[in-house]
Amino acid sequence: MLRKLPSSTRPYLLSQSLNRPTPIARNRLIPSARHVHVRAISFSSIPRAMARAFRIPAYGAAIGAGGLGYANYKLEGVRNATSEILSNVSDKFSSAYNSAADGLNSAADIGSSLASQLQGRISDTGQGVQDTAEAFRNGTKEWWEAFTSQFAKSEAQQESGSSSSSSGSGKGREKWYNPGEGPGQPQNNGGGGEEALLGLVGAAAAASNVEEKRTDPFSSGGGDEHQLLQLTRKLIEIRSVLLSVDQSEALKLPSIVVIGSQSSGKSSVLEAIVGHEFLPKGDNMVTRRPIELTLINTPSNAASSSSTPAEYGVFPDMPGMGKITSFSTIQKTLTDLNLSVPPELAVSDDPIHLQIHSPHVPDLTLIDLPGYIQISSMDQPEELKDKISGLCDKYIREPNIILAVCAADVDLANSPALRASRRVDPLGTRTIGVVTKMDLVKPEHGATIVRGERYPLHLGYVGVVCKAPPTSGVFRSIRGDKETPNVTGAVLRREEEFFGGENSKYFGRDQKVMVGTDTLRRRLMDVLETSMSSSLHGITNAVQLELEEASYQFKVQYNDRRITSESYMAETIDALKARFKEYTAQFTKPAVRSKLKEMLDDKVMNILEKLYWDDPRTLELSKLAEDRKLTTEELDTYWKYKLETASSLLTKSGVGRDSTGLVAEGLRQLIDSIATGEPFTFHPSVSERITEFSHAILRERMGLTADQVENCIKPYKYEVEVDEREWNVGRDRAEDKFVQEIKRCDDKLKEIQGRLGGSRKLNGLIRHVGELERWEEERRKRRFSAGNSGEGEDVVEEGAPVLDAYKYSPAQIIDGRHALLLSNRLSLLKLRQQALKSRRCKLGPDQSAFCPEAFLAVVADKLAYTSTMFINIELLEQFFYQFPREIDSRILYDLNRDEIARFARENPKIKQHLDLQERKDKLESVMRSLQSLVNLQKDAKGPSSAGSSRTGLFTKFF
């Protein structure tokens, strides 16, 4: 209807529309024109009556026209679908022609599916055309009846208008005319032509949007629904944050818990709400873990204006999967996660979190639980029934809302879902009954069940069919295995067919029953929002108490000092570098040279023992050194050759490899001590990474360094030049080594002496062992001579020492042999020590053949000095430069934010600090959100302005 315009502007606008001038002043009746006016009204009654007749019946014509347009739309859809099917069938038959018998079978299947699909499409189109024709016929009938009644009414109004005009003029009352009224102008009550045109346009628009509304009745909501969505979404976001803060009952907002037996149709109800098949399917029990499903309504225009897909799912606990747009992938993932529960456990209380973003879903939080069973199968544990019951009882506690799913073909008295809800909710104040499979019972019986007169619930029952169209087999193969479309529209059409038509007398609005998936969705939204808003003040107080406690603990324990995972990582890396720089002082040139000298001195002592100390002629060398007249040139070549052999054994023993390996091993031990110390005891993965790349650096440098050292000491393998100063230093160093060796021998003898009980017993044992060794040596000689002469081995052994079993045990005999060796070694060391101190060794490097100990000490010192210089350049300097940079590149910059967060939380102290800090921040955020909602609630409940009704998000609850 067009709104009435002010009287001062209506004549002007009408004159502009008719293109003729009309006076702005209001027309008044004058006595002389009274009869003329009455006659003008009588002449204009026919057009005015026809306009009135066409005004209301035009809606019928508009509906009929819209119906014809809709039928044409459906026929066009059938033609397009038929052409697409024929094209696909042509492709199928061409591929089948190239195959053998399997191709013929598939062609037969495709033909049957084509026939069934074409028959269904044509029957649907025929039914639509029939309905449209019926609507057009009814509209035409209503138009004719209205036209005839309106024409008769026009004549009656003409007569009454004449009488009222004459009576009114007699009283001298003034009359104001509407636009188009007045003498000689026809009346236009409300603009019938314009209203008919608007009705026709509206009917056409409504017919074009029928399919969209059926497919997604939720996406086109009014302002109240939009506000409802915003409120529920905020409360759901607050609920998610609270669940991440604490799992206590005091900080929980309600969710909708779906319970029911395995064959009750829980999955169909949830998939009808979401619009896609995504829940696990299987013959056996597939749902073994709770599925916490969060539906988030995303505006379709926002999704289309960005790269974000319109519909997608997210597993928050598996961020690596990202946004999943394929609901079959979601179904497979849920199946795998459920089947990961061991068969011996059957069910687990570890929930699976899933978020679905779509413009076709409401903002809801649903929890799907394993279905109740009556008896366990052979491959299931006997206590499975009790486990499922206990798991469901855990979730249906307050404040959660219970969605008890029952099948219509099963008596409600046998419904395990209703029995479980009665235990925790006796009054049914937070239980919604969902009666599925309504098409399997008689309509009158189904209406009786939905009314809930026998088992009443405060929130009532909702009857649904929820049977989605087939999405597998031939239909999917013809479509080319494309993703299944939104099934909500198909479910709603099926429910509309069942609950409408002849069954509307049982399920109509006047019957006061709730039926349909769309009704269920809106009912769930209303109940969830009502429950959340009713617990708003309680949760606000609980959050306030938790926030005060967290703020107090944060102040007391950490003095309000805030940290981040990144700051802890940076501090740890800086501490690692500082400790490494501090420990590098152990690898200065003097320190490395000292280590290499110790290693080479041990080599020298081994060479001396092998070539000199075990040689019986060594005593002869000492006597020759005492002869002052004997020169080096006159010395036997035997001792000169022995000196060259000793020098070659030292210089050609792989000094480069051994010295480099010694320094590299020291670096490894340094890095291992740093990587396994505080705070890396809490970070085994990072410690392992540090050790790994540090060893990799050493392996890369060791080969090159060893080659460089070998090349640098190569001259010493052929000739060693020694000056006077080096000789004196080497002789002094050899004397020191002999002192240390003599001390070690003495200590070992004293240890054996302590075990035997004194020096007297030790000397007696040494004499006894000496006799045994001499007798054994003689026996070996006799056997050798007897073997050469051909006599047998049975030679009478005479003169064998008598063994006293009570005097010396076998262990003491072993100690005696060691003591004999040490005493002989000690005597020889003291003899060679005297030789080093003799005048012959003090003469200089020319006497090296008489003093091999001093010469080898000089060679070892030269080798250590040269090796240290090149090891410092090729190995140490490169490692000290590269290691800190590898720390930055492989740890500090290589870890992403999630890995850095995990690294920080590996330290218990830091984890406690971060948890308390994060808890405090989340509680503050939740408190701000809750406070804004409380303030909004107060505004909605407060006194409204004069004459205005209450509006706002909380109007329907207060």
DSSP class per residue in 678-724:
TTGGG-HHHHHHHHHHHHHHHHHHHHHHHHHHHHHSGGGGT-----H
Question: Quick one: which of 311, 309, 407, 307 has its CA closest to 359?
Answer: 311
The residue type at 409: D
Instruction: Tell me the pLDDT tens digit for each residue of 264-309.
Output: 888 889 988 888 889 887 666 788 899 999 998 887 765 444 566 7
Helix (H, G, I), strand (E, B) or coil at 189: coil
Unique residue bearing structure tokens 């002192």? 739
Question: Quick one: which of 541, 611, 554 has its CA closest to 918?
Answer: 554
Helix (H, G, I), strand (E, B) or coil at 844: coil
Question: Quick one: which of 497, 462, 492 has its CA closest to 216?
Answer: 492
**687 in Cβ contact with 676 (< 8 Å):** yes
Residue 550, CA distances (Å) to 36, 296, 905 in order: 91, 31, 19
DSSP class per residue in 743-812:
HHHHHHHHHHHHHHTSHHHHHHHHHHHHHHHHHHHHHHHHHHHHHHHT--S-----SPPPP-TTT--HHH
Domain ranges of the chain: 574-780+809-902
500 CB-near residues (< 8 Å, 6+ apart): 507
Which residues of the chain register pLDDT less than 50? Answer: 1-47, 49-51, 53-54, 56-57, 59, 78, 82, 89-90, 92-116, 118-123, 125, 129, 147, 150-228, 303-305, 472-484, 790, 792-796, 944-958
Q: Which two tokens stand for residue 14?
A: 């009408």
**28 in Cβ contact with 174 (< 8 Å):** yes
Radius of gyration for the alpha carbons in the chain, expressed in angstroms and rounded = 52
Q: How far apart are CA 671 and CA 900, in angstroms?
A: 22
Q: How far apart are CA 370 and CA 876, in angstroms?
A: 64
Can you give the pTM of this predicted structure? 0.56
Give the phi and the psi of residue 456 in degrees, each rounded to 5.
-70, 145
Q: Please, is 329 exposed, middle or buried when counting C-beta atoms within 10 Å of its C-beta (0-12, 13-18, 19+)?
A: middle
Helix (H, G, I), strand (E, B) or coil at 507: helix
Q: What is the dihedral of CA 620, 622, 627, 629, to 10 degrees?
A: 90
* Residues composing the chain: 958
DSSP type of residue 339: H
Residues linked to residue 407 through DSSP beta bridges, in sequence order: 436
HEC letters along 746-765: HHHHHHHHHHHCCHHHHHHH
Residues linked to residue 293 through DSSP beta bridges, in sequence order: 354, 366
